[in-house]
Structure 1
Amino acid sequence: MRILVVDDDYTSRTQLKSLLAAYGDCDVAPGGEAALLLFRDALESGLPYELVTLDIEMPGMDGKKVLELLRAQEEKLAVPAAKRSKVLMVTVKNRLKDVSESYNKECSGYIVKPATPQSLKEALKETGLA
């Protein structure tokens, strides 16, 4: 499985990459703009990411905006709904507003930091990836 980990915090990014390495090859991005470039390149190359983890609170472009733009890229390239990337939102704050906004923008799941092997496994099962 191809995985993209997006988080502005180096420690969180490294931890998630380490935990997800058991599930596949992980690329990382320190923010939204870098993530969008990697995501677009993956789509255009025919090797899209099956999973993207997005930190909700990042400087500049937050995770909810990145999610919206990722989905727009998939739509522009006519990616069928069943083939779209699964996106897990990751955050320290478990706020109902963030959860509902993320699901409205078509996220696949939600994890509260710090992510654990168990929380990731459960989230991946819910998305059908584990």
Structure 2
Amino acid sequence: MRVLIVDDDFYCRNMLHEIMKPYAQCDIAVNGEEAVFAFKKGLESGNAYDLVCLDLVMPEMDGQQALREIRSIEKDFKVEEDGAVKVIVTTMLDDRKETHDAFFLGGATSYLVKPIEESKLVKELKNLGFSV
């Protein structure tokens, strides 16, 4: 499994990386712009990401915009819906509007509120069909 961890907070990035590294090859982006760039490069090189863990509140480009751009890139590359990257939105905001926007406007797959607990993340990975 190949995972892109996107978070502007050093602690949160490292925590997700520590949880994920036994199960996946992890790359890190510190904002939405880096995430979009890395995601596109992955598709161009034939080494696409299987999962993106995406914070919503970040500088440069927030998670909502990054998610919309990622979905747009998938359309440009003619990625079928069943082959689309799975996106777990990770945020400190337990906000209904943010959740609604991430799912219905951005195409997020699931949503976890920080701080992320390892057991909850592993359970979510299994729910999404990943072998962990």
Tell me the TM-score normalised to structure 1 length.
0.96
Equivalent position amino acid for 2:108 in 1: C
Give, in whole Å, the separation in 1 of the partners of 2:66 and 2:18: 22
Residue correspondences, number: 130
1:114 aligns with 2:109: no
Name the counterpart of 2:97.
97
SS of 1:52's partner is strand
SS of 2:33's partner is helix
Give, in whole Å, the separation in 2 of the partners of 1:7 and 1:77: 25
Is residue 53–residue 90 contact of structure 1 (8 Å, CA) maintained in 2? yes
Query: What is the CA distance between 1:122 and its match in structure 2?
Result: 2.0
Consecutive unaligned residues of structure 1, counting only runs of 5 or more, are none
Equivalent position amino acid for 2:24 in 1: G
Name the counterpart of 2:18.
18
Give, in whole Å, the separation in 2 of the partners of 1:8 and 1:58: 6
Consecutive unaligned residues of structure 2, counting only runs of 5 or more, are none
Residue by residue over 1:29-55, the C-alpha shift from the partner in whole angstroms, topping out at 9 and shown as x without a partner, is 011111111100100111100000100
Identity %: 36
Runs of 4+ in structure 1 displaced over 2 angstroms?
none
Query: What is the CA distance between 1:126 and its match in structure 2?
Result: 2.5
1:32 aligns with 2:56: no
CA-based RMSD: 0.9
Give, in whole Å, the separation in 2 of the partners of 1:122 and 1:96: 22
Name the counterpart of 2:64.
64
Equivalent position amino acid for 2:117 in 1: T
